[in-house]
Amino acid sequence: MKFCSLSSGSSGNCQYVETENLRILIDAGFSGKRIEELLSSIGVNPSTIDCIFVTHEHVDHIKGIGILSRRYDIPIYANEKTWISMDGELGKLKDENIKVFETGEEFQLKDLDFCTFSTSHDAVDPVGYCIYNKKTKISIITDTGWVNDNMKEKIRDSQLYLIESNHDIKMLKEGKYPWPLKQRILSKKGHLSNEAAGITLKEVLKGEREVVLLGHLSKENNIPLLAYNTVKNIIESTGINIHKDIILDLTYRDRTTKVYNL
């Protein structure tokens, strides 16, 4: 299984997963043209994308979904409430490309198994995904204000984690955002801080060469090195060696990560 974060941040989110038989996107929050460019930069023809999965209806996750579906005849998977909320935002889609699942449902497509689970964000029914291919597991958990025990159990035993590390609490509190927006971000329906991401990882990592990618870093309320070091220090407090036992890396707002072969 291959994974690449095509980009992650408030300006847009799009993740790529590939197996021998399937190529999928998790979210498509840029223009269709930009997603085509990002895919091409890692050697993937956009016409080979088999389906798109949606985490929630915010524009930085769905902006390019409609155009990609129409241009390349791509099915889109989302839960019912998210579909209702996206109504009118995606343009006309073929009925056969509208795929509905129930949050919490597990299902299979070709050589991938999917497990969906609720996250905690100010969207109608946001979800995270665990994606399996044989013995390899990827977990994607972004845009959530907290990670409860159920979420931790769902993502445990992954070989790759994409987890939100949105903001530094001090930077956010002292920054220029209006207080209501700060309250939203800090709430359980907001976004994970660097510290919260580190604490979550501390509880699920085993130190068996897992790949950890920190996602959705705020441009205004975070610094990449600060996010990295905050999470690094928390993980290392468990005795895990950040250089030997896991691979800790960042995602980017405007470019891809490397392609990880799992």
- pLDDT digit of tens for each residue in the chain (262 aa)? 999 999 999 999 999 999 999 999 999 999 999 999 999 999 999 999 999 999 999 999 999 999 999 999 999 999 999 999 999 999 999 999 999 999 999 999 999 999 999 999 999 999 999 999 999 999 999 999 999 999 999 999 999 999 999 999 999 999 999 999 999 999 999 999 999 999 999 999 999 999 999 999 999 999 999 999 999 999 999 999 999 999 999 999 999 999 999 9
Residue/partner pairs of 257-260 with CB below 8 Å, 24 or more apart? 257/4, 257/5, 257/213, 258/4, 259/2, 259/3, 259/4, 259/42, 260/2, 260/3, 260/4, 260/160, 260/211
Residue/partner pairs of 171-174 with CB below 8 Å, 24 or more apart? 171/220, 171/221, 171/222, 171/223, 171/226, 172/218, 172/221
| Spatial separation of the C-alpha atoms in residues 196 and 242, rounded to whole Å | 18
pTM: 0.96
67 phi/psi in degrees, rounded to 5 = -65, -40
Burial class of residue 11 in the structure, from the number of CB atoms within 10 Å of its CB (0-12 exposed, 13-18 middle, 19+ buried):
middle
- Comparing CA positions, the residue from 215, 211, 163, 220 lying closest to residue 6 is 215
Considering the domain delimited by 2-261, tell me its CATH architecture: 4-Layer Sandwich (3.60)
| Spatial separation of the C-alpha atoms in residues 173 and 148, rounded to whole Å | 24
Q: Are 142 and 8 in contact (CB under 8 A)?
A: yes
Q: What is the pLDDT of residue 248?
A: 98
Give the CA-trace dihedral at 223, 10, 29, 132, to 10 degrees: 60
232 phi/psi in degrees, rounded to 5 = -55, -50
* Domain layout of the chain by residue ranges: 2-261
| Spatial separation of the C-alpha atoms in residues 132 and 183, rounded to whole Å | 36
- List 204's β-bridge partners, or say none: none
Alpha-carbon distances, residue 82 vs 40, 57, 90 (angstroms)? 29, 6, 12
| Spatial separation of the C-alpha atoms in residues 45 and 51, rounded to whole Å | 13
Q: How far is CA 105 from the centre of its chain?
A: 18
